[in-house]
Amino acid sequence: MSQTPIWKTIALALTADIAEGRFATGDRLPTEAQLAATHGVNRHTVRRALAELARQGLVHPRRGAGVFVSAAATDYPIGKRVRYHQNISASGKIPGKRVLSLITRAADKTEAEALNLAPGDPVHVYDGLSLADGQPIAVFQSVFPAARLPDLPEALAENGSVTRALRRCGVADYTRISTRLTARAADAVQARHLHLIEGAPVLHSVGINADPQGHPVEYGKTVFAGERVTLTLDDDHG
Amino acid sequence: MSQTPIWKTIALALTADIAEGRFATGDRLPTEAQLAATHGVNRHTVRRALAELARQGLVHPRRGAGVFVSAAATDYPIGKRVRYHQNISASGKIPGKRVLSLITRAADKTEAEALNLAPGDPVHVYDGLSLADGQPIAVFQSVFPAARLPDLPEALAENGSVTRALRRCGVADYTRISTRLTARAADAVQARHLHLIEGAPVLHSVGINADPQGHPVEYGKTVFAGERVTLTLDDDHG
DNA sequence: TGGCATTTGTACGTATGTATA
DNA sequence: TTATACATACGTACAAATGCC
């Protein structure tokens, strides 16, 4: 006989509570002590259950504050000429971007290689957060060649849109020339931004965009909240 | 002051042990009791450290047996005309496939839709395991229209290669027409096959392959061991 | 086949540290 | 500053899976 562990039973109960809307996105769950009392178990058993929910990305604990319900899933189409803003609109959610930081500094070796620069050449680095319906779905970092795009930071600062900023700087169009994808565990910073816990699955995407002449104009890394996003690759380019 | 937790220190030490080859892939670590003794801490503290390593995919525990070191990373290029066998060879590892099961049954709604069939039409279902250097890197399920490919199971049983089996059944070439990618947490079965723990990040890929006339010939789901595989999308199709 | 030792998993208890509001 | 609430770490006991004999 393989008995179901108590913590699993509690985890399932809490999952149902969330699924059926008794706790909404952003809500705070009862404290561990309260949950332990109501289920008649030790607090550690509740912690084990909450750890499971956190691992699944359903909740994220914040020390000293409480345990909060995370966001639900989104669909995220990606194609050769698909841009972020259009993507989210297509899935019926309201998109958004938040600038986290915007600096100009020397390129490291990897960045230089990706952008066809020499290490040490100046690059603009744009760190930001992508939102859908106000919920964070991705953190990204875009690196641009500063010599070629001197006015980019001002253009980016206005509304955060990479496409629009590039257009204003004379890059009317661009195409993805390479993408690498991996599933990884979220680190502490990513987890914080994406309302996940450390260790939740995230989708790493590292890509290079180039102008029509094939010159790289952006080296971008994006970390998607794994269970909240599906990338759709349509071979719709002819 | 923010002191480093003991469990984190132990986790780092064990990570170094593995990185520097003191424990090789497939090796069993000392027991929790032994580790607790050598580090002079409670067994629970060691367990917390091991849980962290397991979460990162470095080790995987087996109740009653011990804690084992998992496999290291592989690169996995994917493109329109790239096939599995070629992929792994390109990264310098010896590829392999293991048939887990091979049955013929009625198609469910999703499978029927993907393959342009009616629900209930017969399909061949091929469950298998992909290996690199003998280490599991992916579990997959491929679904084929049985009416169109009556002799496929025999062809597949011989060496497991989908491309070769399809060729023998008259499909000389095929192309990926859609792909959906998500990062998820491994379930118990996937974890067992891939030598991961439940909850480790895995990359879900769901795709449809069609013959040159555009008729679907395969509906495939693949679950990659997230931190062991990188998908590379080269836009190398002209 | 069955039994036994080993090893990980679950569950309890208690105390103290640390981040947040 | 204080109270709250999650995090770490100690301890103990027993359950469950594995592997060997």
Sorted by sequence, the CB contacts under 8 Å of residue A112 that are 6+ apart come out as: A118, A119, A120, A121
Per-residue DSSP letter, A41: S
Sorted by sequence, the CB contacts under 8 Å of residue B41 that are 6+ apart come out as: B6, B10
Same domain? A35 vs A91:
no
Same domain? B61 vs B132:
no
Q: Which of B23, B44, B69 is the last residue of a domain?
A: B69
- Does residue B76 lie within any of the structural domains? no
- Does residue A78 lie within any of the structural domains? no
Same domain? B24 vs B105:
no
Nucleotide with the nearest C1' to A62 CA:
D6
Per-residue DSSP letter, B38: H
| pLDDT confidence of residue B83 | 61
- Does residue B125 lie within any of the structural domains? yes
- Does residue A238 lie within any of the structural domains? no
Total domains present in chain B: 2
Mean pLDDT by 10 residues, chain B (238 residues): 85 94 93 95 96 92 92 68 63 80 94 96 93 86 96 87 90 86 88 88 91 94 87 58
Q: Which of B27, B42, B69 is the last residue of a domain?
A: B69
Same domain? A221 vs A111:
yes
Residue of B nearest to A77 (CA): B180
Kindly tell me the burial class for residue A208, based on how many C-beta atoms sit within 10 Å of its own C-beta (0-12, 13-18, 19 or more).
buried
A39 lies in which domain range? 6-69
Nucleotide with the nearest C1' to B62 CA:
C8
| pLDDT confidence of residue A238 | 32
Q: How far is the CA of B33 from the C1' of D11 (A)?
A: 14
What is the mean predicted confidence (pLDDT) over A34-58? 92
Same domain? B16 vs B107:
no
Cα–Cα distance between A187 and B225 in angstroms, integer? 18
A227 and chain B: CB distance < 8 Å anywhere? Answer: yes
CATH assignment of the domain containing B180:
3.40.1410.10
Nearest partner of B146 among B164, B178, B169, judged by Cα: B169
Strands B175-185 and A231-234 come out as antiparallel
- Does residue B79 lie within any of the structural domains? no
Residue of A nearest to B185 (CA): A201
Same domain? A130 vs A98:
yes
Q: Which of A69, A98, A120 is the last residue of a domain?
A: A69
- State the DSSP string of A132-150: ETTEEEEEEEEEEETTT-T
Answer whether any strand D atom is within 7 A of the Cβ of A67. yes
Residue of A nearest to B234 (CA): A178
Q: How confident is the model at residue A42 (pLDDT cuts 50, 70, 90)?
A: very high
Same domain? B140 vs B96:
yes
Q: How confident is the model at residue A66 (pLDDT cuts 50, 70, 90)?
A: very high
Q: How far is the CA of A31 from the C1' of D3 (A)?
A: 14
Percent of chain A exceeding pLDDT 70 equals: 89
Per-residue pLDDT tens digits for A147-183: 999 999 999 988 778 888 999 999 998 888 878 888 9
Nucleotide with the nearest C1' to B44 CA:
D9
CATH assignment of the domain containing B46:
1.10.10.10
Cα–Cα distance between B48 and B35 in angstroms, integer? 12
* Cross-sheet strand order for the sheet of B135-145: A76-78, A231-234, B175-185, B201-210, B216-225, B135-145, B122-132, B95-106
